[in-house]
Amino acid sequence: MSIQVEQVRKQYGSFNALAGVSLTIASGELMALLGPSGSGKTTLLRIIAGLESPDDGSILLHGEESTRHSAAKRGIGFVFQHYALFRHMTIFENVAFGLRVQPRSLRPSRQKISERVCELLRLVQLDTYAQMYPEQLSGGQRQRVALARALAVQPKVLLLDEPFSALDAKVRKELRDWLRRIHDELHVTTVLVTHDQEEALEVADRVAILNQGKLEQIGTPQSIYDCPASPFVYNFLGNVNLFHGRLLADLSSLGRDGNVESAGSAIGFVRPHELELSRKHPVDVKAVAASVVRIHATGPQIRLELSIAGILKPVAAELGRKQFEALALVPGDDIFVWPQSIRLFDDPATTSLLLDQGAGI
Amino acid sequence: MNRRRSIPSSLLLKPSRAQRAGRAALILLALLFLAGFLILPVVAVFTQALSQGWTIYRNSVVQQDVLSALRLTCLVAAIAVPLNVLFGIAASWAITRFDFPGKSLLITMIDIPLSVSPVVAGMMYVEVFGLHGWLGPWLMAHNLHIIFAVPGIVLATVFVTCPFVARELIPFMQAQGSDEEIAAVVLGANGWNLFWRVTLPNIKWALLYGTILAASRSIGEFGAVSVVSGHIRGQTTTLPLQVEMLYNEYNFTAAFAAASLLTLAAIVTLGIKKALEGPASGDQMETEEEKGAS
């Protein structure tokens, strides 16, 4: 079932939680709503669920106007951050709840309910825990029960509100992969709210990035990572070096993409792995001199901290093991550095300083 | 909790002699106080009641007036307690699950019966329903008796006991949050299912606890009931009023015999409350610990 969000606004007192958000989620898609806290992502999810009503705008489920429908009527499954399992019921009863409370005419027989619950518990690999109580389970197991419970009523839409954020890193990663597998198996339209960019980029088919109640960018994880539409998105997704500067040359001579209208104040973003390093000044591009401050040599990528004259913050660079070994760097070495690519935006702050050769690098 | 308990006592600092002496003195003081001010009077009630032998005690208890007072007391409690439970659940649900104008006013109002003297509560009812009160003439014309009759006693008791269940439930439901209820609604539960399958099982211990407090208060209420009852022997006297009447007539043995019934009722309710506290507080601690761990 597809979900259409049209110009949804929501205000809490003087706080603008959603300032007119529109997006469409295709049937069977896994969409992540990503943003920092206070960006409105959870509010949007709750409005889609029918747990909150928007001040303005509408929600269409499968093309049908549903803004005024109750949560129960929308046929959704909701998974809460803190599981919200019924603590006085066994795992079996928790999963069976949605089936047991259906009106008599729709309610499956006892036998059918039991079969369906067992099937779901097998799906979440908790069939041996059926007679236990939620407090006897670990956080990861509880969240799997919560998912099975949400799936029991065969929802057309599955909504997850920061489902893994209360779990430790390793369990979080496991559950993330597992959610993706379940989604591939069931193909139920899923919306996942998260503040963890890695989680969003890894699990979702498409990611919608929200900031201060507005949609910043929407797209596949790759397109968002490769072409961030705004400084905010650039900053939010992964490590980035930020250069303030003034464009000296006009853009065409840079030959690089960017949103800068004209020469003037600009900020440039370069991801650490986009920085090239060499012991000698390259012949065809301009490079700046830097010195190696620190080396983090754990993991497949080597991370370097460089200091460049005129830039206060250390600059981060990343390179593969082979290249690192070829360069044979030690802290204190002098080196030349230049970006493979740089994305430029108009600098909103007038106090741009540092690196006048910003456009040059 | 378990962790704390499993610390071997040898790891704790050994108290010095002076500390031990101080601790013993404190415990002794507390025990003496308990004995002097609580246990002794209770024992005295039973001693006085049984002072002229079991037969006299039995005869005093099965007296027509005492029995009818006992019946009335039970009737009043049987009406007041369920009303209290209904009001308590409704008020605490409204307060903890919804935002509405006048919410803080409602919270404050719930406390009024606890802060106002019961005598005043009784007088308020006289002022409203009494012969010379606001509704008096109308009630008179329709031959309805509230003051100096059973309805007045019930009303006064309801007023005095109405905070008990709500007072127990509100903090409990606030702490528990509404996540489970929202989950149930999303899963399609209607109001009926929501209440009986999710809310009630979660609040049952706090609810029982509040109910017991309300019951023991409605059995023992004196001040408010005294004002509205009119002390008609065998008709509008509850057990506490009966005790007072017998006492004022210098019929000490009978007074203490009736008082011993009230004391027994109090001891029984305290016993039930104690028995309920065990599982209830245990549950609570476990869930809190769980939350802390996760």
Each residue's pLDDT, cut to its tens digit, for chain A (361 residues) gives 889 999 999 998 888 889 989 999 999 999 999 999 888 999 999 999 988 889 999 999 888 888 888 888 888 899 998 889 999 999 999 999 999 998 888 888 999 999 999 999 998 888 899 999 999 999 889 999 999 999 998 888 999 999 888 888 888 888 888 899 889 988 899 999 999 888 899 999 999 999 999 999 999 999 998 888 888 888 888 777 777 766 554 443 343 444 444 556 677 788 888 888 888 888 877 788 889 999 988 888 889 998 887 777 888 888 888 888 888 888 988 998 888 877 877 766 433 333 333 333 3
Instruction: Check CB contact under 8 Å for A97 and B187.
Output: yes
DSSP secondary structure code for residue A1 in this structure? -
Mutation target for A interface from B1, B97, B186, B291: give the one with most A CBs within 10 A. B186
Tokens read off for A271: 């991801």
Instruction: Check CB contact under 8 Å for B193 and A80.
Output: no
The end-to-end CA distance of chain A, in Å, is 49
pLDDT at B121: 85
Whether A193 contacts A161, CB under 8 Å: yes
**CA distances (Å), A93 to each of A131, A149, B127, in order?**
8, 9, 54
Same domain, yes or no, for B175 and B34? no
Separation of alpha carbons A98 and A102, rounded Å: 7
Q: Quick one: what percent of chain B has pLDDT higher than 90?
A: 12
pLDDT at A150: 92
**Count of structural domains, chain B:** 2
- Residue A192's closest CA among A157, A228, A225, A144? A157
Same domain, yes or no, for B43 and B156? no
Mutation target for B interface from A97, A107, A164: give the one with most B CBs within 10 A. A97
- How many angstroms away from the CA of B172 is the closest CA of chain A? 15
Q: What is the dihedral sign for C-alpha B166, B171, B174, B176?
A: negative
Whether B291 contacts B94, CB under 8 Å: no
User: What mean pLDDT value characterizes chain B?
Assistant: 81
**If you search the block for the tokens 């591939």, which residue do you land on?**
A184
Same domain, yes or no, for B39 and B161? no
Task: List, for residues B184-242, the tens digit of each pLDDT value.
Answer: 988 888 888 899 999 999 898 889 888 888 888 888 888 888 888 877 777 788 888 88
Q: How confident is the model at residue B257 (pLDDT cuts 50, 70, 90)?
A: confident
- How many angstroms away from the CA of A20 is the closest CA of chain B? 25
Name chain A contacts of B186, Cβ cutoff 8 Å. Answer: 49, 51, 71-72, 76-78, 150
For residue B186, the chain A residue with the least C-alpha distance is A72
Q: B41 lies in a domain?
A: yes
Same domain, yes or no, for B270 and B195? yes
pLDDT at A263: 53
- Residue B229's closest CA among B277, B176, B157, B138? B157
Q: B88 lies in a domain?
A: yes
Domain range enclosing B243: 63-291
Instruction: Check CB contact under 8 Å for B182 and A51.
Output: yes
Contacts of A74 (CB under 8 A, 6+ apart): A49, A50, A61, A66, A157
Mutation target for B interface from A52, A101, A142, A143: give the one with most B CBs within 10 A. A101
Same domain, yes or no, for B26 and B144? no
pLDDT at B292: 38
Contacts of B76 (CB under 8 A, 6+ apart): B150, B153, B154, B157, B218, B225, B238
Q: Which residue has the higher pLDDT, B179 or A241?
A: B179
Same domain, yes or no, for B155 and B220? yes
Contacts of A101 (CB under 8 A, 6+ apart): B184, B187, B188, B189, B190, B193, B197
| CB-defined contacts A:B, below 8 A | 66
Name chain A contacts of B286, Cβ cutoff 8 Å. Answer: 135
For residue B190, the chain A residue with the least C-alpha distance is A101
Name chain B contacts of A135, Cβ cutoff 8 Å. Answer: 286-287, 290
Check which CATH number belongs to the domain holding B166 and give it.
Answer: 1.10.3720.10
Instruction: Check CB contact under 8 Å for A86 and B198.
Output: yes
Q: B7 lies in a domain?
A: no
HSE, side-chain direction, 13 A CA sphere, residue B147: 22
Q: B5 lies in a domain?
A: no
Name chain A contacts of B1, Cβ cutoff 8 Å. Answer: none
pLDDT at A171: 86
For residue A102, the chain B residue with the least C-alpha distance is B188
For residue A79, the chain B residue with the least C-alpha distance is B183
Same domain, yes or no, for B172 and B260? yes
Mutation target for A interface from B99, B187, B284: give the one with most A CBs within 10 A. B187
Separation of alpha carbons B112 and B163, rounded Å: 8
Instruction: Check CB contact under 8 Å for A51 and B290.
Output: no
Tokens read off for B139: 């009630």
Whether A69 contacts A42, CB under 8 Å: no
Instruction: Check CB contact under 8 Å for A153 and B188.
Output: yes
Instruction: Check CB contact under 8 Å for A51 and B188.
Output: no
Tokens read off for A241: 């070096």
Instruction: Check CB contact under 8 Å for B188 and A102.
Output: yes
Strand order from edge to edge, sheet including A241-246: A241-246, A265-270, A343-346
- Residue A76's closest CA among A88, A89, A62, A58? A62
**If you search the block for the tokens 């047991």, which residue do you land on?**
A100
- Its pTM stands at 0.73
Q: B197 lies in a domain?
A: yes
pLDDT at B11: 56
Instruction: Check CB contact under 8 Å for B182 and A84.
Output: yes
Q: What is the dihedral sign for C-alpha B270, B272, B274, B277?
A: negative
pLDDT at A254: 41
Task: List, for residues B4-22, the tens digit of each pLDDT value.
Answer: 445 555 556 677 888 888 8
The one-letter amino acid code at A238 reads G
HSE, side-chain direction, 13 A CA sphere, residue B127: 7
pLDDT at B261: 84
Same domain, yes or no, for B35 and B163? no
Same domain, yes or no, for B33 and B144? no
Tokens read off for A114: 């039991």
Q: B1 lies in a domain?
A: no
Instruction: Check CB contact under 8 Å for A139 and B294.
Output: yes
Same domain, yes or no, for B181 and B138? yes
- How many angstroms away from the CA of B81 is the closest CA of chain A? 26
HSE, side-chain direction, 13 A CA sphere, residue B123: 5
CA dihedral B186, B190, B193, B196 (to 10 degrees): 100
Q: B44 lies in a domain?
A: yes
Same domain, yes or no, for B130 and B41? no
The stretch B119-140 carries a mean pLDDT of: 81
- How many angstroms away from the CA of B285 is the closest CA of chain A? 12
Q: B58 lies in a domain?
A: no
Question: Given a cut of 80, is residue B86 above it in pLDDT?
Answer: yes
**Facing B290 at nearest CB: one of A77, A84, A135:** A135
pLDDT at B123: 86
For residue B200, the chain A residue with the least C-alpha distance is A88
The one-letter amino acid code at A55 reads D
Instruction: Check CB contact under 8 Å for B189 and A72.
Output: yes
Instruction: Check CB contact under 8 Å for B186 and A78.
Output: yes
Whether A164 contacts A143, CB under 8 Å: yes
Q: Encode B156-185: b = buried (16+ Cβ within 10 Å), e = exposed.
A: bbbbbbbbbbbbbbbebbeebebebbbbbb
Instruction: Check CB contact under 8 Å for B183 and A86.
Output: yes
**Chain B interface, Cβ < 8 Å to A:** 179-180, 182-190, 193, 197-198, 201-202, 286-287, 290, 294
Same domain, yes or no, for B267 and B124? yes
Name chain B contacts of A82, Cβ cutoff 8 Å. Answer: 179
